[in-house]
Chains A and B, each alone.
Chain A
Amino acid sequence: MLFTDPVFLTKFLPLVLLGFYAALFSKTRWHSQVVLIGASLIFYSWFKSEYLILLLGSMVGNYVLAKQILAQPGTAKSKRILVLGIVANLLLLGIYKYLGFLTLNINALFDIGLPDPALLLPLAISFFTFQQISYLCDSHAGKMEACAHTPLEYALFVTFFPQLIAGPIVHHAEMMPQFRNTIAPSARAIMFCEGLCLFALGLFKKLAIADSIAPYANLVFTSVDSGAAVTSMTAWGGALAYTFQIYFDFSGYSDMAIGLGLLFAIRLPWNFNSPYKSENMSDFWRRWHMTLSRWLRDYLYIPLGGNRHGKLRQYINNFATMVLGGLWHGAHWNFIIWGALHGVYLIANQFVRAIAKMFGVLDVVETAKSIRFTSWAITFLAAVVAWVFFRATTTSGAFSMVQSMFGFTAENALNMKANVQTTLWMALAAFAAFLLPNTKDISELFQKDLLKRPSAALYGLGTVSGLAAALAFFASLSLTQSPFLYFNF
């Protein structure tokens, strides 16, 4: 069941909302929590019920371990339990996500003919594993009280269906208090309206923009992955198409998830903040998949030492974090290369800034318009090049495409023109990504004194939301639709 699925929109969501708001009348908090947990488990098992056991097992196991840690946080015993928990989580993730990849590479290196485990990746495993590792770590770090959370709260934290499948990767500190907050009806109503607005905008971003561009990106990448060479123009066209497709697909999905959360008066963290407006790579990672960046920073980069041990060590930590971040997306060399590229980008950015600082021109670099524009262009193009590795399914295909992008074109290179419709959608996507306010900006209108605003603002927000919903609906009528890209991770 996808967020765009008619069954979800016309049956599942209305029923869950009905159940949730009916449960609120009982004034017993756990009633509404049970409704949401039940709905979330149904939502998850709709995809593949076999993996429900895995999710439940992981949840129960981690909760029990966390309880053990919380009994005596910070001790050697709790550390041992923490290590056990992390290893168990990573082992689970490793078996399902990386064992096949490992087998393939060992066989290629040593030719020992290990059998392919051929395991199907359980949906959302990367997301719920990371959330639970952070819970264990914070339990050990003494950031929670011993009886911090009830089993129901923990279950809802892990399974809450709007974020379960593809994030945002939530942190217990931002979720658990919301399960207990008492919210005034008027505030709840505003959150509901905000949720509808975000959901509509997310639908539009996914169905109208991302899905309209997807066929061209697929065409170009399928060609290079099958061994064909493409012209420079085609390579750039395909890379740009995917650059916008993945942004509008994933940020649209995230907006829908946040919007859905708000319908239940739960505010999920933002995941995107106009990343293609970034003027350097560090900025890019503060704006792209923000909850993953946050997780990697808090639970990988900082534990590795962060910037506390000198520049060289900082560069190494940055690189390692990005490579592992790439690997988190999937067991393929292309993801590792993608992560490594971003690691190099970050190091280059930090190096240039350090040099500028050394010569006392950092202020000039950060404020001069021409330098800022150049920096933005370089950042965007660097991201585009990296996306080629992220999207291509073969490493040779990715390198062939990058070669074409930089003018090293084969003789019989294919020239695949985007049709007028795709070109127009790409132009709109670029305009929206570079210049328009993002959904976070729009959402903030709801949060700041909405009720005191002139009626025109409310009418405007309502009309924009209605228009987005209608256009998304029309786009959904197209005979071809793409699945959400981040469901693969």
Chain B
Amino acid sequence: MTHISESNNDAQMATPPKSAAKQLSKFMACLVGTTAICLSAYALSVNSLVQSAKMPATYKWFLLKEVPGPRIIFESGSNSHHAIDTDAVGAALGMSAINIADNGGYPIEDKITRLETYARAGDIVVLPLEWTFYHREKLTDNYVETLFTDNRDYYQSMPAVKRAQRALSLPPEKIIKAFSKKKSRPVQDVESPAKDLFVAALTQSTGHQSRKVSIGPELGVAEQSCDDYILGKTAQRKNLKLSANIKPALARLKKLKNKGIGIHFAWPVLAGDGCMSDPAYVTGFRAQIEQAVNLAGFEFLGTPGQSLYGQNLQDNTPYHVVTKGTDIHTQKMIGFLQAQGYGETGSPLDIKTFARHRLLEMELASIKPLNQPALPIGKPIAMDNPEMRELVEFSAGWWDFEPYGRWMRDNRAMFRVTLPKDISPKSVLKIQGSTKSGQPEKVSLSINGKVISSGMFGESAPLLVPAADLPRGEALSIFLSLPEADLPQSPLELGENQDARSMTLHLHSLELTTSEAEAEIEQVEVSNDAAPNATAIKTVPYVSDNLVFDYTQAFLDEGPLNCGPADMKRNSIPLKISFSEGWWEQENYGRWMKDQRATLDITMPDNGEGMPENRYSIRLEGDFFMNRVQSVSAVIDGKKLNPFTLMADGSLISIFESSQMGNSITLELELSGKTTQSPKTLGLSQDDRTLTYFLKSAQLIPA
């Protein structure tokens, strides 16, 4: 070897250095260039995967980006989402308080990036960081998988360099998976894109939420001690060290502090027997954390012991407390903050009202130019007709389609339609619907920014808009406003049921017609008959956390019909469903149950396809006929499941266990109601099928 080296050296010594440099620069240029091209291509691929949307993906992001300052911002994982009542903090301190704490599995560095981007001078940031933030170094699967979708705001809040760094930290297998998902189900523009945020604005207006009653320990909690759950087994706890991310994170927080943003650390709430009994982290790891934080010039509000509560206040994990715990801890936090000298006279911003208005403004601002087919003449466009209703774009202010109508969520909303070029001068656009109260209410209508009419609107008092003078062949922006419904209420607030969505006007149909061309738009006399569907549409007993799941989902709006397997469109793992007994024919967006009972067969994913667990949640999305919400029980392969829980978004969820990897299981659904009716018997349409539940999609989630 030495011989080769020496002879080589001799040979090279004779080469003029200039020529050698020129030759070797070719090698170096290719090495560096190829590496740079590969890394750039990778970063750009990641960039292209991240959904681009003006609307924040979650309400917490809306709060951070939009609520004007100065604010008290609570940032951490789900622990603080449950533990800090920001309504109470805001009221006590006379400042807007928002809770943006989302998930303990998200990286601290990205959390600080969002504070760098959106926190402003005068804001106060409180960080009751969960213990895991201090020692975890690697990205979690959950975070990586949702960075392109539900967590896209984290990525979008980063400056270019940080985006590149983050892109170059994501595992290739996740990128490939995301590409295959994107290819199989491209993202489509969503009508009224803020509707999910609006639910959150109504139910958790400042971002926090906790359950009044514990739902019991989730899987894996009861089987281990509190300390094991929080920081791993004893052996692991002994060796806990601050992650390499903490020092730079503290330096960045220091810079934020220098910009006039108040930064305070706090300890995460723990509830349960035996929490923090191990000295390994009570005195060891805790000391490391405190030392690092104090060295960086920050202090903790309170002690770990002051954030420790008993088993009776635990919700589903030691990190989550029930509302009683939230109230107790929030009062402590208020005391800590007051001791720091915070608190202003006056009342804080009404964030719920602010969010309602701002979300509509954002929807309106995100509207894109539209080239839509013209309305047909003389054909009513009913909301239960999926093909016809595609002719209307519900741009802003609407909830989802429901059977036979679509609710305006607030007192303002906009939709867009296009009139044909050749219409009779006597044509009118007829808008039919009902109001939440069942009584006619004043409605003002403007088109392309110009007020066209104002009058009473109700079940038997449609709006009639002369079309002759309206622009044709282009999308008209039709804006509805209910000036006297400034404070819309939800069925929950009205004590009718658990539905937390506010609603005002229920749109049933639109029609471009000449039959009533002579009619003037005026205040009309209306009957006082209550609309049959003027009550709750969906019940919302509890709005879930902003926690993100990986799931398998079968959408029933595409793919083979007639009891064939529904194709998997969004995920790479196919969930095949075939309908057995009790269902009507497939429709564009789903399938109606005929009666109280129906069965379907689900082919379980293969074990080797990313579904390692044998415990799943099954989630059904759909609507009950005429909003007659019923409890739903189910049997899988003869084994009875817990009744389905109705979630905030109207979906139904139940948990089951199955080891039938790759095999078919039979799901028997049973509704609690006793009678069935058809739209015809109710006078809604000529449809004489008996209808109960309209299933739109089914998802399988590893539980």
A461 engages B27 (CB within 8 Å): yes
Given contacts A461-B27, A475-B172, 7 further A-B contacts (CB under 8 A): A186-B20, A187-B11, A187-B12, A462-B33, A462-B34, A463-B34, A471-B38
Chain A, 172-194, contact with B by CB distance < 8 Å: what is the 0/1 string?
01100110010111110110010
Stretch at the interface among A132-140, A396-404, A448-456: A448-456
A213 within 8 A of B: no
A478 engages B28 (CB within 8 Å): no
Interchain CB contact (< 8 A) of A187 among B8, B23, B139, B170 = B8
Question: Contacts A186-B13, A190-B12, A466-B38 given: A458-B171 contact, CB under 8 Å?
Answer: no
Considering only residues 11-67 of chain B, those with a C-beta below 8 Å from chain A are 11-13, 15-17, 19-21, 23-24, 26-35, 37-39, 42
A458 to B19, CA, bound (A): 14
Closest B-chain residue to A447, C-beta based?
A: B8
5 closest pairs, A vs B, by CB? A462-B30, A466-B34, A470-B38, A187-B12, A186-B20
Chain A, 355-375, contact with B by CB distance < 8 Å: what is the 0/1 string?
000000000000000000000
Interchain CB contact (< 8 A) of A466 among B2, B19, B30, B173 = B30
Interchain CB contact (< 8 A) of A181 among B9, B31, B34, B139 = B9
B303 within 8 A of A: no
Interchain CB contact (< 8 A) of B172 among A186, A269, A419, A474 = A474
Question: Contacts A181-B9, A187-B9, A462-B29 given: A477-B19 contact, CB under 8 Å?
Answer: no
B169 within 8 A of A: yes
Q: Which residues of B contact A458 (CB under 8 A)?
A: 23-24, 26-27, 30
A479 engages B172 (CB within 8 Å): no
Chain A nearest CB from B318 CB (Å) reads 25
Q: Which residues of A contact B20 (CB under 8 A)?
A: 185-186, 189-190, 451
29 residue pairs bridging A and B, Cβ less than 8 Å apart: A173-B2, A184-B13, A185-B17, A185-B20, A189-B21, A190-B12, A190-B20, A193-B28, A417-B608, A419-B608, A458-B27, A460-B30, A461-B30, A462-B31, A463-B30, A463-B34, A465-B30, A465-B31, A466-B30, A466-B34, A467-B35, A470-B34, A470-B35, A470-B39, A473-B168, A474-B172, A477-B169, A477-B172, A478-B172
Q: Which residues of B contact A173 (CB under 8 A)?
A: 2
B24 engages A189 (CB within 8 Å): yes
Q: Which residues of A contact B21 (CB under 8 A)?
A: 186, 189
A450 to B21, CA, bound (A): 12
A256 within 8 A of B: no
Closest B-chain residue to A417, C-beta based?
A: B608
Closest A-chain residue to B19, C-beta based?
A: A451
Chain B nearest CB from A467 CB (Å) reads 5
B29 engages A477 (CB within 8 Å): no
Closest A-chain residue to B3, C-beta based?
A: A174
A292 within 8 A of B: no
A274 to B297, CA, bound (A): 57
Q: Which residues of A contact B16 (CB under 8 A)?
A: 186
Q: Which residues of B contact A10 (CB under 8 A)?
A: none
A462 to B1, CA, bound (A): 24
B171 engages A467 (CB within 8 Å): no
A98 within 8 A of B: no
Q: Which residues of B contact A178 (CB under 8 A)?
A: 2, 5
B390 within 8 A of A: no
Q: Which residues of B contact A449 (CB under 8 A)?
A: 11
A474 to B12, CA, bound (A): 35
B138 within 8 A of A: yes
Q: Which residues of B contact A196 (CB under 8 A)?
A: 31
Q: Which residues of B contact A466 (CB under 8 A)?
A: 30-35, 37-38
B141 within 8 A of A: yes
A455 to B29, CA, bound (A): 12
Closest B-chain residue to A170, C-beta based?
A: B1
A150 to B38, CA, bound (A): 46
Interchain CB contact (< 8 A) of A186 among B17, B38, B141, B171 = B17
A442 to B685, CA, bound (A): 78
Chain B, 378-405, contact with A by CB distance < 8 Å: what is the 0/1 string?
0000000000000000000000000000
B172 engages A462 (CB within 8 Å): no
Chain A nearest CB from B234 CB (Å) reads 18
Question: Contacts A190-B20, A462-B30 given: A474-B4 contact, CB under 8 Å?
Answer: no
Q: Which residues of B contact A197 (CB under 8 A)?
A: 27, 31
B6 within 8 A of A: yes
Q: Which residues of B contact A451 (CB under 8 A)?
A: 12, 15, 19-20, 23-24
Chain B nearest CB from A85 CB (Å) reads 25
A197 to B24, CA, bound (A): 12
B30 engages A459 (CB within 8 Å): yes
A187 engages B13 (CB within 8 Å): yes
Interface size class for chain A?
A: 35 or more
Q: Which residues of A contact B171 (CB under 8 A)?
A: 477-479
Question: Contacts A184-B13, A421-B173 given: A462-B2 contact, CB under 8 Å?
Answer: no
Q: Which residues of A contact B37 (CB under 8 A)?
A: 466
Which chain B residues have a beta carbon within 8 Å of chain A's beta carbons? 1-2, 4-6, 8-9, 11-13, 15-17, 19-21, 23-24, 26-35, 37-39, 42, 138-139, 141, 144, 168-173, 608
Closest A-chain residue to B36, C-beta based?
A: A466
A477 engages B168 (CB within 8 Å): yes
A200 within 8 A of B: yes
Q: Which residues of A contact B17 (CB under 8 A)?
A: 185-186
B12 engages A477 (CB within 8 Å): no
Q: Which residues of B contact A467 (CB under 8 A)?
A: 34-35, 38
A460 to B42, CA, bound (A): 22
Chain A nearest CB from B407 CB (Å) reads 44
Closest A-chain residue to B11, C-beta based?
A: A449
A469 engages B35 (CB within 8 Å): yes
B9 engages A183 (CB within 8 Å): yes
A450 engages B30 (CB within 8 Å): no
Closest B-chain residue to A212, C-beta based?
A: B173
Closest A-chain residue to B607, C-beta based?
A: A417
A270 engages B30 (CB within 8 Å): no
Interchain CB contact (< 8 A) of B1 among A200, A270, A459 = A270
A267 within 8 A of B: yes
A269 to B2, CA, bound (A): 9
Q: Which residues of A contact B38 (CB under 8 A)?
A: 466-467, 470-471, 474
A222 to B173, CA, bound (A): 24
Chain B nearest CB from A421 CB (Å) reads 7
B35 engages A479 (CB within 8 Å): no
Q: Which residues of B contact A478 (CB under 8 A)?
A: 171-173
A7 to B20, CA, bound (A): 32
A421 to B171, CA, bound (A): 14
Closest B-chain residue to A187, C-beta based?
A: B12
Chain A nearest CB from B516 CB (Å) reads 64
Question: Contacts A419-B608, A475-B172 given: A459-B26 contact, CB under 8 Å?
Answer: yes
A479 to B15, CA, bound (A): 47
B9 engages A462 (CB within 8 Å): no
A155 to B141, CA, bound (A): 46
Chain A nearest CB from B40 CB (Å) reads 10
Closest B-chain residue to A7, C-beta based?
A: B244
Closest A-chain residue to B609, C-beta based?
A: A419
A174 engages B39 (CB within 8 Å): no
Q: Which residues of A contact B26 (CB under 8 A)?
A: 455, 458-459, 462
Question: Contacts A473-B39, A477-B172 given: A186-B34 contact, CB under 8 Å?
Answer: no
Q: Which residues of B contact A193 (CB under 8 A)?
A: 24, 27-28
Q: Which residues of B contact A462 (CB under 8 A)?
A: 26-31, 33-34
Q: Which residues of B contact A463 (CB under 8 A)?
A: 30-31, 34
Chain B nearest CB from A417 CB (Å) reads 7
Considering only residues 70-97 of chain A, those with a C-beta below 8 Å from chain B are none
Q: Which residues of A contact B29 (CB under 8 A)?
A: 462
Chain A nearest CB from B572 CB (Å) reads 12
Q: Which residues of B contact A187 (CB under 8 A)?
A: 8-9, 11-13
Chain B nearest CB from A261 CB (Å) reads 11
A177 to B3, CA, bound (A): 11
Chain A nearest CB from B425 CB (Å) reads 66
Closest B-chain residue to A189, C-beta based?
A: B24
Q: Most chain-A CB neighbours within 10 Å: which of B9, B17, B24, B171?
A: B9
A470 to B2, CA, bound (A): 32
